[in-house]
A and B are shown apart, each in its own frame.
Chain A
Amino acid sequence: MAGVVIIGAGLGGLRVAETLRASGYEGEVTIVGDEIHLPYNRPPLSKEALAGGVEVADLEFRRKAHVDDVTWKLGSPAVTSSIKEGTVTLADGTVLQFDALAVAAGIRPRRLPIPGPQAGRVVLRTAEDARELRAALVPGAKVLIMGAGFIGCEVAATARKVDCEVNIVALDAEPMIRPLGAELGAGMRRRHEANGVNFYLGRTITSFNGTDHVESATLDDGTVLACDIVVEAVGSMANVEWLDGNGLDLGDGLSVDDAMIVEGTTNVVAVGDLARHHNALFSGPKRRIEHWNMPTETGKRAGQTLAALLAGDEVSQAPFSAMPSFWSDQYSHKIQSFGMPGNATRIEIVSGNPDEACIAEYFDESGLVGVIGIDKTSELAPYRKLLMERG
């Protein structure tokens, strides 16, 4: 019995395993993880845990009793695979046989090829990354953040909390502009500025300077910024290289159908940050959604699909429908989003203003596609309901 092999021991992988068992599948389930840890929660890595200390045991997900019998193979990544042969090979040489494969390997931060010393340049995805960054966040340390997305902005807020000097360099015109839009982005920029963060927007870094360790960065306009540590938060790449050679399109994660089955395969599903899927609530092309709630939504669906497949039952092709939802904590402010605000062609602030508690509605040709509140969490539920009714 080869059973199900799940590559990636994160939230998505855990949800696939739980759902397989909850759906009555009794065969082997093996979860392979590159990291040495059992599945743990990442969002605190840029927030509370980065400020207060990174204890993976405190971040581990609650694991349901019915996954007690799955086999964990942690600390060795999948390096090659043959879907035709039904095998995955791990870095330690282990070859695993599968009847069905679940791809839950997530994404990793993109690194830009910028000349200069490497030491002192970090990214933030894993508990180890967070520990390394936390060690550098001492009062007075000069922190340079590349990228003004959510992770960059959350790290900035946390670094200010511990009295670091913080500069953010980003190509975008405002922080978090893609989901928030220019007005709310500007409002968040002013909150950061009031807390002592300096922005260099519309700029890129052309080189890092220093002998062994980064000491400063030169921007494209010639500005030189001193730094003790650089946090690179400029986008992501899907962890799919180990699927090379199977004839799959690996250009932007993995394209899946409504049942989460990877295009071009019959027994492979993909979930979480790397799954590119349709969503019946929103029109437009398939998209990857790097929000915390999606590994649960896609993982549950993929688990049901595999359980049906392996039982010889018909796999449901009902349209996949899930509400993307995102939150972010910066200083005392809470940003919460429902839907696909990044798709909007028109944004309307319907309550408050960008510098205070506010709610913005996001529209495209089809109507309301998203809502974002800053410090207005309790008033967003009716909007979520409206968005659910799109389905």
Chain B
Amino acid sequence: MIKVTIDMDKCQHYGQCCFEAPDVFSLDGAGHIVYVAEVADDRRADVESAADVCPMQAIEIS
């Protein structure tokens, strides 16, 4: 499993991550980011891409 965390002090809720891994990151009705904290290993490439495109560099993966 991959552990995903978003640093909520940094996140500005732009939702760029959602385009790379929509099954992991999404914006709720109020425009706040919601995400799945544990994802299967085969999703690593997309989760890495999401971390790359995050303008606030708020996404941590381990």
Contacts and interface: CB of A to CB of B under 8 A. Distances in A.
A277 to B, nearest CB: 18
Interface size for chain A: under 10, 10 to 19, 20 to 34, or 35 or more residues?
10 to 19
Nearest to B61: A62
A3 interface: no
Interface stretch (A101-109, A237-245, A265-273, A376-384): A376-384
A64 B47 CA distance: 13
Contacts of A384: 19
Given A329-B12, A334-B12, A378 B57 contact: no
A89 interface: no
A336 B16 CA distance: 11
Of the listed residues A44, A62, A292, A329, the one surrounded by the most CB atoms of chain B closer than 10 A to its CB is A62
A61 to B, nearest CB: 6
A292 B30 CA distance: 25
Nearest to B28: A378
B18 A381 contact: yes
B51 interface: yes
A150 interface: no
A43 B55 CA distance: 8
B52 A378 contact: no
A293 interface: yes
B6 interface: no
A327 B55 CA distance: 9
A184 to B, nearest CB: 18
A167 interface: no
Given A62-B60, A378-B30, 6 more contacts: A41-B55, A292-B55, A293-B16, A378-B15, A381-B15, A384-B19
